[in-house]
Structure 1
Amino acid sequence: MSGGVDSAVAAARAVEAGHDVVGVHLALSRMPGTLRTGSRGCCTIEDSMDAQRAANIIGIPYYVWDFSERFKLDVVDDFIAEYAAGRTPNPCMRCNEKIKFAALLEKAIDLGFDAVCTGHYATIVTDDVGNRELHRASAWAKDQSYVLGVLTAEQIAHSMFPLGATPSKAEVRAEAAARGFSVANKPDSHDICFIPDGDTRGWLAERVGAEKGEILDRNGSVVGSHEGAAAFTVGQRRGLNLGVPDPDGRPRFVLEVRPKTNEVVVGPKEALAIAEIAGSRFTWAGAAPEHPEVAFDCDVQIRAHADPVPAVAVVQAHAETGEPELMVRPGTPLDGVAPGQTAVVYVGTRVLGQCTIDRTVSAVPTPVS
């Protein structure tokens, strides 16, 4: 129970469905004293109290479990390391993968519980032979299956999402109000929970460090300077200190971040178009394809609120390392994809699997100077 409206209603529905429910709030910070500001952040003391008030109304036991050390190691430190390596991580994916459906689920199973129930908007469907599959929520506008794409078959077998068939968030808020929950109109949280002021650039500079370096064009010519490569991400336009304008006068965007040489590469917007993505860190959300080494049709989604794009996927050996990787070729180029992002693969409404993107191939070749 995060302290939000979705998890409160999910807990109430689970009780009414006949389950023996215990409310658990996750303490993810050793310094939770700062209260939420508007809709920024989550998992504060204020949120814990909101969750407890909802549990009291429902009439279920309520506990706060301290996962702050695990969260720091698996989510915060990973976030810092990924940016230091020039990648763009998704901490919400890591939190679901390592905390909510790993550390939390492991403890729950050890204590004799059958499942972790959350307020995510997604559904679980059992196929004809008994395999549990993760699917999109009925309301695509609120669908959160993307951030659950990291779940494995074992984790899906022990997960419940009571809100998956709900037509809209407005209906959930109305139900919360009818139940007397004080969080009925509480704003949704956004931004990175451990950076509640939203200043990701400043936060990273304190932890990764900032050293002046060069900004290059696609041919390697110096066109500007920067105060620290880790502060940049692929697709970024603002904040570029370019001393040499583009010959065509067009704006330029970050195409690549090179942490080893402390360089940032920029170019035209069309160069952000990506024709191929691949990652060796891939998992299947339920039963794997029978022959993943044979190319298959799918849809790919690279951000939580992005539209899915028709694609072809296949598991193949990396040309240099020989390590298996999930390679995806979209039917139309993807825009501004960065290594470190998560690509979630769908077949219809089903989440088939995901990979953390290791490499991309541009749809626009680098011009020869």
Structure 2
Amino acid sequence: MEKKRIAVAMSGGVDSSLTAALLQEQGHEVAGITMNLSDCSAGAVSDAKIVADFLGIPHHVADFRALFQKKVIDYFLDEYAAGRTPNPCVACNPGVKFGGLIAEAARLGYDYLATGHYAGIHYSEATGRYNISKGTDGNKDQAYALYRLKQEQLAHVITPLGGWVKTDTRAEAVRRNLPVANKPESQEICFVPDDYKEYLLRCRPELRRPGDIVDTSGRVLGRHEGVAFYTVGQRKGLGIAAEKPLYVIALDAEKNQVIAGGNQEVFSRELVAEKLNWVAIGELTEPMRAGVKIRYGAKEADALLTPREDGTVLVSFDAPQRAVTPGQSAVFYRGNDVLGGGIIREAVR
């Protein structure tokens, strides 16, 4: 096997730590790089350094605070202010985690960047393109979050855990006595130390802008504390007494309104996706069948993708989907491979 110079994106967690250990065992020249993204990064930097010292590999810290503020935090705040629900990991991956780290790895003399993602990356001789495939562990599959990576980035990325399941990863880390083997998984947004609503108010106090909760006919049902604090599909926290359960079905930041309705009104037949990135294909030129996920934890749904003249894609589902949320990503699949995806601009009921 060809020995490579590989920088591992080490977060201080179990997955990236085992990734570094596996690549070192295979004989590659390995180093760790940890991103300093915000005030919340100190623990990650410290834990990654401990693991790197344990493995006897170099450890570097990349100061991406300014880049992360611009590419992720400002985007996160702007999207909520506009009445959309962002996915910060999807924004971070192409611009910071991969874009920034691949450049930093190259500066340090490493040819590849390895991560602990549960997804596969492989080259197709037939198409001449790099593909992203679903991870073996269906409960941990992270192909969804990688769909915005460009071909030139994928050419330099290695994901050794694509064929692993999380239970085996943890067991192997314990067997190797890795210092973080029993570290719990992080489930929250990495730069939000507490409740996201408190974070939004701390960063943008002007988001507390009360307005009306209305139904689809415009009838006022109640009051809200700010459009940014609600999301499509939400039921709790509306503070409205009604004969049947009410859900948020849309947000109108321009009118400063939260639109509420019954359960059936939360479902959409179609969506429009914009800001597209194609992976397994160069572009979509004619209608195509695909599996579609409308958020990270959603089940894949069968749909027809139709390209439109304005550069967007109309996604028509075989069965209506619940809580299609502007700002989230719609990711398209062909079998186990990611075709591409885009940001949901609007839901069509």
Alignment of 1:180-195 (within 5 A): 180-195=177-192
2:247 aligned partner: 253
1:127 maps onto 2:114 in alignment = no
Deviation at 1:331, TM superposition (A): 1.3
Distance 2:179 2:62 in 1: 22
Distance 2:124 2:177 in 1: 37
Aligned residue type for 1:265: I
- What do you get for the CA RMSD once the two structures are aligned? 1.4
1:204 maps onto 2:200 in alignment = yes
Unaligned runs of 5+ in 2: 1-9
Question: Which residue of 311, 322, 334 corresponds with 1:347?
Answer: 334
Distance 2:122 2:104 in 1: 25
Deviation at 1:293, TM superposition (A): 2.3
Change (3 A) 1:185 1:83: same
Aligned residue type for 1:258: D
SS at match of 2:222: strand
8 Å Cα contact 2:215-2:261 kept in structure 1: yes
Distance 1:305 1:225 in 2: 30
SS at match of 1:340: coil
Deviation at 1:109, TM superposition (A): 2.8
Aligned residue type for 2:102: L
2:152 aligned partner: 154
Distance 2:250 2:178 in 1: 47
SS at match of 2:160: coil
Distance 2:146 2:302 in 1: 20
Deviation at 1:311, TM superposition (A): 1.1
Distance 1:115 1:215 in 2: 51
Deviation at 1:113, TM superposition (A): 2.2
2:297 aligned partner: 305
Question: Which residue of 35, 41, 47 corresponds with 1:50?
Answer: 47
Alignment of 1:77-96 (within 5 A): 77-96=74-93
Deviation at 1:356, TM superposition (A): 0.5
1:361 aligned partner: 348
8 Å Cα contact 2:148-2:341 kept in structure 1: yes
1:332 aligned partner: 319
Aligned residue type for 2:31: V
Over residues 300-353 of structure 1, what are the superposed CA-to-partner deviations in whole Å (9 max), with x where a residue is unaligned?
A: 011212111111112212xxxxx2102211211111011100011000000110
Deviation at 1:48, TM superposition (A): 1.6
Deviation at 1:107, TM superposition (A): 2.5
Distance 1:122 1:263 in 2: 39
1:28 aligned partner: 37
8 Å Cα contact 1:28-1:71 kept in structure 2: yes
2:220 aligned partner: 222
Distance 2:100 2:280 in 1: 19
Change (3 A) 1:287 1:294: closer
SS at match of 2:16: helix
Question: Which residue of 15, 35, 38 corresponds with 1:6?
Answer: 15
8 Å Cα contact 2:275-2:342 kept in structure 1: yes
Question: Which residue of 305, 310, 315 corresponds with 2:307?
Answer: 315
8 Å Cα contact 1:153-1:284 kept in structure 2: no
Deviation at 1:360, TM superposition (A): 1.2
Deviation at 1:179, TM superposition (A): 1.6
Distance 1:84 1:133 in 2: 34
8 Å Cα contact 1:272-1:335 kept in structure 2: yes
1:35 aligned partner: none
Over residues 86-128 of structure 1, what are the superposed CA-to-partner deviations in whole Å (9 max), with x where a residue is unaligned?
A: 1000001111121111122223234432221000000112223
Alignment of 1:55-74 (within 5 A): 55-74=52-71
SS at match of 1:280: strand
Deviation at 1:49, TM superposition (A): 1.7
Deviation at 1:132, TM superposition (A): 2.0
Question: Which residue of 263, 271, 284 corresponds with 1:269?
Answer: 263
SS at match of 1:22: strand
Distance 2:290 2:31 in 1: 38
Aligned residue type for 2:228: A
Deviation at 1:286, TM superposition (A): 4.2
Over residues 134-161 of structure 1, what are the superposed CA-to-partner deviations in whole Å (9 max), with x where a residue is unaligned?
A: 1001121221111111112121111110
Aligned residue type for 2:14: V
Distance 1:96 1:222 in 2: 41
Aligned residues: 337
SS at match of 2:100: helix
8 Å Cα contact 2:124-2:130 kept in structure 1: yes
Deviation at 1:70, TM superposition (A): 0.6
Distance 1:315 1:103 in 2: 31
Unaligned runs of 5+ in 1: 33-43, 318-322, 363-369
8 Å Cα contact 2:62-2:104 kept in structure 1: no
Aligned residue type for 1:67: F
Over residues 203-237 of structure 1, what are the superposed CA-to-partner deviations in whole Å (9 max), with x where a residue is unaligned?
A: 21331421221110110000101111111111111
SS at match of 1:358: strand
Aligned residue type for 1:253: Y
Aligned residue type for 1:304: Y
8 Å Cα contact 1:279-1:325 kept in structure 2: yes
